[in-house]
Amino acid sequence: MRLLRASVMSFIILSLLTGVFYPGIVTVLAQAIFPQQAGGSIVRSSAGVAIGSALIGQSFSGPGYFWTRPSATADYPYNAMASGGSNLGPTNRDLIKGIFERTQILRKSGMQGPLPGDMVTASGSGLDPHISAESALLQIPRIARERRLSEERVKALVDDHIERRQFGLLGADKVNVLKLNLALDGIGHNG
């Protein structure tokens, strides 16, 4: 009986510590120190309406927008309920076919030269909100043509939205597509 009582008390104490107190303290600290990130990094329109998260990609495929990298999520692109990579190996015929098809679409849109890998392959989660800086720069002529803007104006916008490597050495330069497309909408057409 003594062992049962000690076991039950240990269970209750550990449940309170790890299931109530610790998550509560972390939540309060996160909201106090990093309120934007703790709240989901919600991106709002100029009218204050929530239109997405800076942490989860959205599908952009219109000709006047920067395109996102492909998403490997089930049912529809960037489905957060079905996050996960395709797990297709480099010799898988479906992967090769998908890369070929995406390459053809990009070529038809006018993209020239070598294509960055993130333009033809999905991310590990299928939800990546970023593209490489190279992928954004490669799309400038198409965006400028579709929006009737100068390439210099579009390039300046891309340059303003490049997120540099963390600490100057971790990762690669990248661009959040949702934020970039919102800024693009902000300058409009013929702007």
| Domain match, 20 and 46 both | no
Strand partners, 175: 131, 162
> Mean pLDDT lowest for which of 27-36, 73-82, 88-97?
73-82
The answer on 29 and 50 residing in a single domain is: no
Q: Which neighbouring-strand residues pair with 132?
A: 174
Query: Do 108 and 21 lie in a common domain?
Result: no
- DSSP class per residue in 49-68: -EEEETTS-----STTSPPP
**Residue 120 CB contacts under 8 Å (≥ 6 apart), including other chains:** 70, 98, 99, 102, 103, 106
The beta strand positions in the chain, using DSSP E, are 42-44, 50-53, 130-132, 162-163, 174-176
26 and 51 housed in the same domain: no
Give the pLDDT score at 111. 87
Helical axes 177-187 vs 151-161, angle rounded to 10°: 140
Reported as a single tens digit per residue, the pLDDT across 136-177 is 999 999 999 999 999 999 999 999 999 998 887 888 899 999
Burial class (CB within 10 angstroms; exposed 0-12, middle 13-18, buried 19+) of 115: middle
| Average pLDDT over every residue of 31-46 | 85
Calculate mean pLDDT across residues 85-97.
85
Do 104 and 91 share a structural domain? yes
Residues 141, 174 contacting (CB under 8 angstroms):
no
Q: Which residue has the tokens 């015929």?
A: 93
* 30 and 72 in a common domain: no
Give yes or no: residues 20 and 65 share one domain: no
Q: In terms of domains, do 46 and 129 share one?
A: yes
Residues 15 and 62 in one domain: no
Q: What's the mean pLDDT when you consider all of the chain?
A: 88
* Strongest mean pLDDT among 35-49, 61-75, 135-149: 135-149
Pair 164, 173: CB distance under 8 Å: yes
**pLDDT of amino acid 191:** 43
Q: Looking at 11-15, 68-72, 141-145, which range is the least confident one?
A: 68-72
Q: Are residues 22 and 76 in the same domain?
A: no
User: Based on the domain organization, do 33 and 58 belong to the same domain?
Assistant: no
Give the pLDDT band (50/70/90) at residue 190. very low
pLDDT of residue 189: 52
* Whole-structure pTM value: 0.79
Count of domains for the chain: 2
Domain that holds residue 116: 41-187
Do residues 76 and 20 share a domain? Answer: no
Strands 130-132 and 174-176: antiparallel
Q: For 130, which DSSP code?
A: E
Angle between helices 140-147 and 151-161 (to 10 degrees): 120
Q: Which of 6-15, 30-39, 144-153, 173-182 has the lowest mean pLDDT?
A: 30-39
